[in-house]
Amino acid sequence: MKEITLTIDGKVCKGTHGDTILGVARKNGIDIPTLCFLEGLTPIGSCRMCVVEVEKNPKLLTACTTPAQDGMVVHTKTETLHNYRRQVLELLFAGRNHFCMYCSQSGDCELQRLAIEHGMDHVRYPFLYSDFENDATHPEYQVDHNRCILCLRCIRVCAEKVGAHTLDLKDRGWNAKVISDLGKKLGESDTCVSCGACAQVCPTGTITIREFAYRGRRSDCDDIVESVCPLCGVGCKIKAYVRTGSVVRVEGTTTDQPDGGQLCYKGRLELPRSTERDRIHVPMIREGVHYREATWEEALSLVAENFKAAHEADKAGALVSSICTDEELSVFSALFRDSLGMKRLDTFDGDILRGFMKGFEPFRKQGVRPFTAAHNILESDCIVNLCANPDEEAPVVASYMRVGVLKNEASLINVSSWDNPFEGITDVDIRLLSECGDPALLDSLTKAIIALRMSEEDLGKGTEALNDYRKYVQQTASLVDMDVDEVEQLVLKLSKAKKPVFVLGSNVSKNPLVVQAAVNLAIASKAFFEDGIGVVPLVVSSNSLGTVNTVLADEAWLGKEDLDFMYVFSTGMIPEDEDSLAAISRTKFVVVQTPYLVHPLVNMADVLLPAPAWYERSGHFCTIEGERRRLNVVVPPKGEVRGLASVIQEFASALGVELGSPKAVPCEQLFGSEKAPQNAQIVELEEVSL
């Protein structure tokens, strides 16, 4: 990149060709006030706060959109500019309702801050008192158009980062108004995914989150804790604002980050809600149909007594939530697996994870990483949704996919046996005739692509390859509701794509062959990313991958036989599935450790132990974004809640067992790659090792 030099406020500043004046100024520590600008969103220069004077140019220029040029002499702090900016602010204040005393954002408002900084002690223009509506139809968010300054940040973040493009602008001039869909109320919108990104970027009190309104300004908060959302495999980074021990606001990172700083509705709203749920404060022991409070010593010795007998008879099991940190999981593993040699240890999402891992196994053996970070979907030009329902499984992944299509012009192929979750933006929609758990379609597509490549590359075997190609195209067509032409188009699309990516839903992964077939298809279509093969597995929680070498069982055991003892650790954040609950209820003696009164799980317990909630713990999560992310204590635990590690420690001593040091390998090491994904070989599907 060509380096350029310009003078800003008398200082010689270096920048790169393509930078804006604002970009160069910020790089060189010169502050230019901005309002509509937000790093990571397309700059539009609409608010005129960032105007600067450029010598030899008669007009004032917006620093956020004007490309910096070599030799420019820029002034950012002249009296003219100050007056002009103050005038802009006064016009904004006069335009709509910007009376701060009854606004929930007062003190957090960027418009207010700028006005104060510019010494706006009154407004020289008559107020318009324009009367816009206050749209309170959405259950979580409120839009008061009277407080809008038309910076369009919400519209841009919704289109460019969330990919929903729910918001847009209606009318012109002072009548302009942000609308959802084609003029519907926000609560009635079909496209809104309720993620709240618009509220996070809103500089004024226009779009606000009910949950957070009037609960305290950012500056009033005692602490801002950076942590990780545990509720899906992505593990988005969150910023939690804590005031007097309660969570008053949750935000994503900033819009210039790879994930766009977004959170989904779960990530934004579940944390404050999970601090308000009914908790279990003390250990409890069942007596008949009632529970009575007990001391930790009494409860743990009762647990130990029942466990010993069951363990000797090989009738004990332990089931652990995957919303545990790597550190906690390794303590579980150290006790149950290493010290006690227990085989029956698993997580609630064990079946899904075992499917993924068994499907990935042949490729991991080759030394390649058979999956890629979810945000790499944004680099792809052809996104394939394989029986996933990202809007529910991992909403931020759905955002990546929509942005991939709408902004980066990738094509989207949906394969599912149910309704297409990306209706309207899909290029090819393949409706499976059989259930999603059948690898045959992926296998014949893989073979068709290989044959097509052979026919193009190898002249010697061209005819044979072409015959193969026709055979597999025919076979594919027979598996789905498509004719041969359409299949040919599909095969062509996949083989021509530069960086295809395959998003794999959790409901197909219970059959490892589907996972393996998907990786094969990814290899055949050359889905190679820097960190691994272009498959994004939608695992259940943000530390599902961390369970792989700690508590995940080699084979499913839950429900196969009735046990005498079961220890269950639930975080109460993801509902237990019916099969697990049925198996737990058939066990003779059940110990449930959980932070919340989760029904019906707690009703099955013979001993109920309190646990710290996820936001009261710390450690590391191994996310599908390929990063080990740190979970931090947002609010410290109250009452007689003890940390998981200390409970396990005491349980071990009650059993008279020595707890060895945890042996788990950090997950980067576990999922690290020795070879570039280009070296991966397709592994023929076999009906073995299931």
Partner 1 sequence: MAKAKLATVWLEACAGCHMSFLDVDERIVSLLEKVDIMYSPVVDSKEIPKVDVGVISGALGNDEEVHLAKKMREQCDILVAWGDCAVFGGINTMRNFMPTKEVLEKAYIDTVSTVNPKGVIPGEDIPELLPKAIPIDQVVKVDVYVPGCPPDADTILWVFQELLEGRIPKVPADMMRYD
Buried b (16+ CB within 10 A) or exposed e, 407-432: eeebbbbbbbbeebbbeebbbbbbeb
Q: Collapsing DSSP states into helix, strand and coil, what is residue 40?
A: coil
Is 116 a binding residue for partner 1 by CB under 8 A? The answer is yes
By C-beta, is 117 or 293 nearer to partner 1?
117
Say if residues 442 and 480 touch (Cβ distance below 8 Å).
Answer: no
What are 435's two structure tokens? 């259930």
Least distance to partner 1, CB of residue 100, Å: 4
By C-beta, is 108 or 328 nearer to partner 1?
108
By C-beta, is 2 or 122 nearer to partner 1?
122
Is 275 a binding residue for partner 1 by CB under 8 A? The answer is no
Is 214 a binding residue for partner 1 by CB under 8 A? The answer is no
Rg (CA), the chain: 29
By C-beta, is 11 or 124 nearer to partner 1?
124
By C-beta, is 213 or 282 nearer to partner 1?
213
Which of 69, 127, 456, 599 lies at the binding interface for partner 1 (CB under 8 A)?
127
Strands of 223-228's sheet, edge to edge? 223-228, 237-243, 246-251
Least distance to partner 1, CB of residue 131, Å: 5
Cα separation, 546 vs 621, whole angstroms: 7
Say if residues 349 and 544 touch (Cβ distance below 8 Å).
Answer: yes
What are 24's two structure tokens? 């160069």
| Rounded to 5°, angle at Cα 393 from 390 and 398 | 25
Considering only the stretches 125-133, 269-277, 334-342, 586-594, report the one whose residues sit in contact with partner 1 under the rule CB under 8 A: 125-133
Cα separation, 612 vs 327, whole angstroms: 15
By C-beta, is 115 or 609 nearer to partner 1?
115
Say if residues 378 and 498 touch (Cβ distance below 8 Å).
Answer: no
By C-beta, is 214 or 418 nearer to partner 1?
214
By C-beta, is 35 or 103 nearer to partner 1?
103
DSSP characters over 359-406:
HHHHHHHTT------GGGGGG-SEEEEES--HHHH-HHHHHHHHHHHH
Say if residues 348 and 577 touch (Cβ distance below 8 Å).
Answer: yes
Is 371 a binding residue for partner 1 by CB under 8 A? The answer is no
Is 683 a binding residue for partner 1 by CB under 8 A? The answer is no
Q: How much helix, strand and coil, in percent to the nearest 5, is found in the chain?
A: 35, 20, 45
Q: Which helix (H) or strand (E) holds 568?
A: strand 565-569
Is 117 a binding residue for partner 1 by CB under 8 A? The answer is yes
CB atoms within 10 A of CB 106: 15
Least distance to partner 1, CB of residue 83, Å: 14
Inter-axis angle of helices 395-406 and 265-274, nearest 10: 160
- Return the DSSP state at 577: P
Q: Which helix (H) or strand (E) holds 518?
A: helix 512-524
Q: Distance of alpha carbon 657 from its chain centroid, rounded?
A: 40
Kindly determine how many residues on this chain lie close enough to bind partner 1 according to the rule CB under 8 A. Answer: 21
By C-beta, is 213 or 633 nearer to partner 1?
213
Which of 42, 129, 245, 273 lies at the binding interface for partner 1 (CB under 8 A)?
129
Least distance to partner 1, CB of residue 398, Å: 39
Is 112 a binding residue for partner 1 by CB under 8 A? The answer is yes
Is 7 a binding residue for partner 1 by CB under 8 A? The answer is no
Is 115 a binding residue for partner 1 by CB under 8 A? The answer is yes
Least distance to partner 1, CB of residue 610, Å: 42
Least distance to partner 1, CB of residue 99, Å: 6
By C-beta, is 129 or 174 nearer to partner 1?
129
By C-beta, is 118 or 628 nearer to partner 1?
118
Is 123 a binding residue for partner 1 by CB under 8 A? The answer is yes
Least distance to partner 1, CB of residue 209, Å: 19
Is 131 a binding residue for partner 1 by CB under 8 A? The answer is yes
By C-beta, is 58 or 126 nearer to partner 1?
126
Least distance to partner 1, CB of residue 77, Å: 15
Least distance to partner 1, CB of residue 420, Å: 45
Least distance to partner 1, CB of residue 101, Å: 4
| Beta carbons within 8 Å of 659's beta carbon, 6+ residues apart | 331, 334, 335, 339, 648, 649, 652
Contact mark string toward partner 1, 69..108, x via CB under 8 A: ------------------------x---x-xxxxx--xx-
In the complex, which residues of this chain contact partner 1 (CB under 8 A)? 93, 97, 99-103, 106-107, 112, 115-117, 119, 121-123, 126-127, 129, 131
